[in-house]
Amino acid sequence: MDTKTKEQFVHSVFESIAPKYDLMNDIISFRRHKAWREFTMRKMNVQPGETAIDLCCGTCDWTISLAEASRSGKMVGLDFSQNMLDIGAEKIGRLGLDKQISLVRGNAMDLPYEANSFDYATIGFALRNVPDLVKVIEEMQRVVKPGGMVVSLELSKPTWQPFKSLYYFYFQKVLPLLGKLIAKKYDQYKWLPESLVHFPDHKQLADIFRSTGLTDVRVYPLFSGIAALHIGFKPKAADGHTGEW
C-alpha cells in the first residue's frame, strides 16, 4: 500500500469507527490504555502553563489530560478525522476546557505550526497508522522548543512466550470479531492488527527516535510489551541558546 493509499484508507477507517472508538479502546486494551496514559503523564511531569500539541488526538482523552495538568497552558489537538474531532469537542465543552484547547483538522506529517512552538509533542496509539512515521517524528521534533519532549505511547510487540502467542491470537482473530459484534465494523478492526505487523518493535522505534536527532531517548515497555512509551528530547543549542529570541 503506497503512502497516499494508506493515508486515504486509514482516514476512512477512523471516520467510520469514531462513534465506538472509546468503547473499543477499552475492550482492545482491557482498559489498560487509561493506566498507560496515567503512567505517561507521570513521566512527562507537565508543569503549570506549559504547552503541547497532541497529534492524531482522536477523541481527545490525552489532549484533555495534558490541559488539566498544565491548567493554563494552551493545548492543540490535531487529527485528520473530523468525526473524531467532533466527539472530542463535545468532551472538551462539557469540561469547560474549550478556551484552553484548540482542535485542528490537519496532517501529522505537515504540521501548520512554526518551529519551537510547544513544550511537548505527543502521539497516542497512532504512530503505526501514519504513512511515514519518521516524517511525523521529525515534525514533532521541529515544533517543540529546544529541550522539549517528543512522546509516543503506542501498541507494541510482546516478546515473552507463551504470552506472545496468546496476544497475537487475540489481536488477529478475536479483535476483528469483537469489532463486528460491537461496532459493526469487521474490516476496520481487522486493519488494526495488520497495522502492527510492519511496525517497529520498541527497540527499533527507539533507534528511529535517535536517528531523527532526539536525545536522551527513554523506552518503557508496558504490560509485557503490549504497549510501549517512548520519550525523546529535542537538543538544546550547543551555546546554551534556547532557540527563542
- pLDDT at site 243: 39
In the chain, the amino acid numbered 12 is S
**Spans of the chain, pLDDT less than 50:** 239-245
Return the axis-axis angle of helices 32-44 and 21-28, rounded to nearest 10°.
90
Strand order in the sheet with 144-155: 101-105, 75-79, 52-55, 118-124, 144-155, 227-233, 215-222
Instruction: Name the E strands within 67-143.
Output: 75-79, 101-105, 118-124
- pLDDT at site 14: 65
- pLDDT at site 158: 77
- pLDDT at site 173: 75
Contact 141, 169 (CB under 8 A): no
Longest dimension (CA), the chain: 58
- pLDDT at site 177: 75
- pLDDT at site 69: 98
